[in-house]
Every structure is written in structure tokens, then in C-alpha cells.
């Protein structure tokens, strides 16, 4: 954004440190909790792009309120978030495998894992997403459009849902070929990155290994879509 709009001052905010190898001079990054970093910009921002963060903060409604306060009158909010559900090639919801409902052993003590095929025809890929959605999403989260509507003063200009294919171009999806490739890398990395969290949540290494095998195979040959939501609102 900073490169495209050289006349703008662009500020990135995140809890975690980020590396920017070739950031231009009109960009700076502030590391910290949004509830402390955003108030520094009260009434100052012309545009805020907040992507895939709202579901991770403790109080998503308070975040959207803070975003409102950070904008100038007339300023634009581009609020985006993903969901932990998966659609099949016919755009029907895929049933997730839920290990806690299965007989598959998942104890840390490494008892035998007998029932590898216990997914009952449900998707391991959708199951992993479902599992992580339940683990990481704030209990006070609501769809982003509702969060925006929860604050008086916004005018919603646009609200839409995007489907992005994984490892295939999708059916009638704009830029589907590229999206399919990006999501393929993204979702494979997601499994690897989430392994440690799964261990902490009580899954055994054996169970994660089995899950990983099925997950990989499904991403390789399945025709899935992930879903994303985008709301554009004006103050």
C-alpha cells in the first residue's frame, strides 16, 4: 500500500514483530496490542485495513469501536476476516471430522491409536480448521458485518463473501488459478504451524501425524473452497 500510494503515510500494527525487507520511507510498523496502539491514532486515519484480526482479540466489538474512533470523519474501514468452514466443489458445506466425537485415541500418554479410519467419511481438512476455529476465536466474536452494525455511525458501503479455491482454480472464480496456488501453500503451512498448538490442546503426536497425512491428501486431491468476508464502511 505504501508503495502504491507514495504520498500516504502508512502504519502497520500487530502484536507480533514483523519483518519488512523493502519497506519504503512512508511506511512504519508499530508492534503492540491494538487496544493500546490504536488510541494513538484517534481521529487521524483516512483508511484502515484490518484483516483477519477481529476474531483473535478478546473483545471484537471493542476493537471495531476503536477502529471507528481512529478514523477521521468520512474515513474508510476495510474490515476482512476468514471463517473456519470449508465448502466442497459444489459450494456445499463440508462436514468436519471432530476427533473428540470419535473413538480415536488422542491422549498425550501415547496409548494406541486404533481407529485411524474413524473419521466416518468426514473431512480431516475441514476438521483441522474447525478445531482451530474453536480453539482460537474469541467467544464474543460475531460476523464482521454485525460487529460493524453494532457501532452507531458507520455507513456500510459494501459487504461480500469470497470463496477461494485450494489447489485448484475453482469454478468461475476471478483469479482462481493464482488463488488456488496461494491457498495451497498457505493451508499446508497452516497445518505445520498449528501442530504445536494442537499438542498443547491435548492431541498426541501420533494423532497429529495421522491427521497430517489425511489433511495433505485431501488438500492434494480435493476440490475445496475457503471463505472470507469483507466489509467496507464509512465513518
62, 56, 46, 118: which is closest to 82 by C-alpha? 56
64 near ligand SAM (CB under 6 A): no
57 near ligand SAM (CB under 6 A): yes
Task: Please give the residues from 171 up to 190 whose contact with ligand SAM meets the rule CB under 6 A.
Answer: none
Cα dist. 231→66, 114, 122, 127 in Å? Answer: 16, 45, 31, 27
Q: At what angle do helices 205-221 and 176-200 cross, to 10 degrees?
A: 170
Minimum gap (Å) between residue 13 Cβ and ligand SAM:
6
Of positions 52, 155, 185, 197, contacts ligand SAM by CB under 6 A = 52
Query: Can you tell me the distance from the alpha carbon of 142 to that of 69, in angstroms, rounded to the nearest whole number?
Result: 20
Sole window of 22-30, 52-60, 97-105, 211-219 interacting with ligand SAM (rule: CB under 6 A): 52-60
Pick 10 or 34: Cβ nearer ligand SAM: 34
> What cell does 219 get?
488438500
Sole window of 53-61, 93-101, 140-148, 175-183 interacting with ligand SAM (rule: CB under 6 A): 53-61
Binding mask 125-154 for ligand SAM (x = CB under 6 A): ------------------------------
Query: Can you tell me the distance from the alpha carbon of 105 to that of 113, in angstroms, rounded to the nearest whole number?
Result: 5
What's the burial of 229, exposed, middle or buried (CB within 10 Å: 0-12/13-18/19+)? middle
Interface residue list for ligand SAM (CB under 6 A): 14-16, 33-34, 51-53, 56-57
Amino acid at each position: 500500500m505504501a508503495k502504491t500510494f507514495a504520498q500516504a503515510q502508512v502504519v502497520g500494527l500487530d502484536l507480533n514483530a514483523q519483518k519488512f525487507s523493502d519497506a519504503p520511507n512512508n511506511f512504519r510498523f508499530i508492534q503492540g496490542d491494538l487496544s493500546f496502539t490504536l488510541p494513538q491514532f484517534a481521529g487521524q486515519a483516512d483508511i484502515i485495513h484490518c484483516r483477519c484480526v477481529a476474531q483473535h482479540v478478546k473483545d471484537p466489538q471493542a476493537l471495531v469501536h476503536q477502529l471507528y474512533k481512529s478514523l477521521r470523519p468520512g474515513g474508510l474501514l476495510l474490515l476482512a476476516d476468514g471463517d473456519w468452514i470449508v465448502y466442497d466443489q459444489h459450494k456445499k458445506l463440508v462436514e468436519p471430522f471432530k476427533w473428540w466425537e470419535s473413538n480415536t485415541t488422542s491422549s498425550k500418554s501415547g496409548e494406541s491409536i486404533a481407529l485411524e479410519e474413524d473419521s466416518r467419511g468426514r473431512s480431516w481438512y475441514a476438521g483441522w480448521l474447525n478445531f482451530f476455529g474453536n480453539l482460537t476465536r474469541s467467544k464474543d466474536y460475531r460476523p464482521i458485518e454485525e460487529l460493524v452494525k453494532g457501532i452507531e455511525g458507520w455507513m456500510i458501503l459494501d459487504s461480500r463473501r469470497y470463496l477461494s479455491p485450494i489447489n485448484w482454480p475453482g469454478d468461475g472464480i476471478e483469479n482462481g488459478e493464482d488463488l488456488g496456488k496461494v491457498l495451497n501453500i498457505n493451508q499446508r503451512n497452516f497445518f505445520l504451524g498449528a501442530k504445536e498448538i494442537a499438542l498443547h490442546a491435548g492431541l498426541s503426536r501420533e494423532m497429529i501425524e495421522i491427521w497430517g497425512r489425511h489433511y495433505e491428501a485431501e488438500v492434494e486431491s480435493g476440490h475445496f473452497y475457503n471463505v472470507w468476508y469483507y466489509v467496507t464502511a464509512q465513518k
